[in-house]
Amino acid sequence: MRLPQEIIRAKRDGETLDAADIKAFIDGFAGERVTEGQVAAFAMAVFFRGMSQDETVALTEAMLHSGDVLDWAGLDRPVVDKHSTGGVGDNVSLMLAPIVAACGAAVPMISGRGLGHTGGTLDKMEAIPGYSVTPDNATFRRTVCDIGCAIIGQTGRLAPADGRFYAIRDVTATVESIPLITASILSKKLAEGLDGLVLDVKSGSGAFMVSHEDARALAASLVAVANGAGLRTTALLTRMDESLASAAGNAVEIRNAVRFLTGAQRDVALEEVTLALAAEMLLSARLAPDLIEGRKQADAALGDGRAAETFAKMVAALGGPSDFVERMEDYLPAAPIIREIVADEDGFVATVDARRLGLAVVELGGGRTRPQDAVDHAVGFSDLALIGRRLMRGERLARVHARDEATAERAAAALREAYGLSGEAIERDASAVLERFG
């Protein structure tokens, strides 16, 4: 068996690693015999040299078997989940899990924290006072069995090697690697003991895979590796050329999600992506015979209030307030500084640099530049003007939620730089869902 540095050297020089070397390296990392510095070097080597499908499968399986695999034997619901490759204003999971659970599936949604310029589902859920993203296994299982869904974090017993690898990738500019993304996502999802998986692969300025071609390659890799491992998987390629929701941050996205679930406000593209993924999950769970019927079931769960009720029960079961949906403004943290950012000229919103927008949230304190950084859940942007909207000079582009005046001013400047206005009317693209795989 080769030493860790020799495995790194081999990949750096473009060699194909065998499964035994990959397993030894990951086992060494899980057992703290391989250092974080060596993992960073390995990640950079993979970033530049890539991995074959066989290598990616070996990496996925090595991280999967670094911990436990959940067993849902005896549960009378099909077990399905969704994963997004990340974006700005992507709070889909918050609505999707309760919608699909309300339709009869079990959704043990193990999510991640913010990565680079993208927000993290766990950081959003932790904006809810008392909500635990790290419940004990009994509480997690009881919540999924009794309510139908639980949005939690990766425990130390599920793919633990990936949990540490994930944090290192975040701060070493090695996120945008198809093999590393594939192995990271699927090691966690395979550990959930699922019957079916649906992937939301983003493409555009706010995605890690900016180009359509790279996003297609990632979607194809994920579907091939997952199905090869025996997990029924499909993927949707979706647009991330602006904030998906009209809010970007943590508490502000929770507010947006509750309004979506209750019917008070539903951003158009966000609704399209959420319901398309719900239909895919219900088809994968074999609770719907086709995507049309799956969409009807998801619409019904929203319309009659079952999805909002399921979300409320999940929040309470995992330590949050029992009346959170009814009184969320009493519970969610609010930033001391809330300012309107206005347009400098007349025009139509033509382009949004979603990556720049996401970085502005990080700079406000709503994300991390180091794994150990604390997150300010109150900060971010709300009421974001979306592509196609006509603005007059002085009209609101967005609201910034900030800790102090200085960071509010910097965030306002960054947001204005992220927006491009046109004198001519802009037609929104026909669909936020670009392509289906699987």
Indicate which residues carry an active-site annotation. Answer: 81-84, 121, 169, 184, 188-189
**DSSP code at position 79:** B
Determine the angle formed by the axes of helices 4-12 and 36-49, rounding to 10 degrees: 20
Radius of gyration of the chain (CA): 21
Q: How far apart are the first and last CA of the chain?
A: 37
Pairing of strands 80-84, 196-203: parallel
**What are the E-state strand segments in 278-393?**
337-342, 347-352, 380-382, 390-391
Handedness of CA 185, 190, 191, 194 (dihedral sign): positive
- The pair of structure tokens assigned to 58 is 């070996």
Strand, helix or coil at 197? strand
d(CA 237, CA 296): 21
Residue 378: which region, alpha, beta or left (left: phi > 0; alpha: psi -120 to 50)?
A: alpha
Confirm if 175 and 208 have CB atoms less than 8 A apart: yes
**How many whole angstroms separate alpha carbon 203 and alpha carbon 432?**
10
Q: What contacts 31, CB < 8 A, 6 or more positions away? A: none
Sign of CA dihedral 314, 319, 322, 328: negative
Where is 239: in which H helix or E strand? strand 232-239
Pairing, β 232-239 against β 149-153: unpaired
Please count the other Cβ atoms lying within 10 Å of the Cβ belonging to residue 210: 18
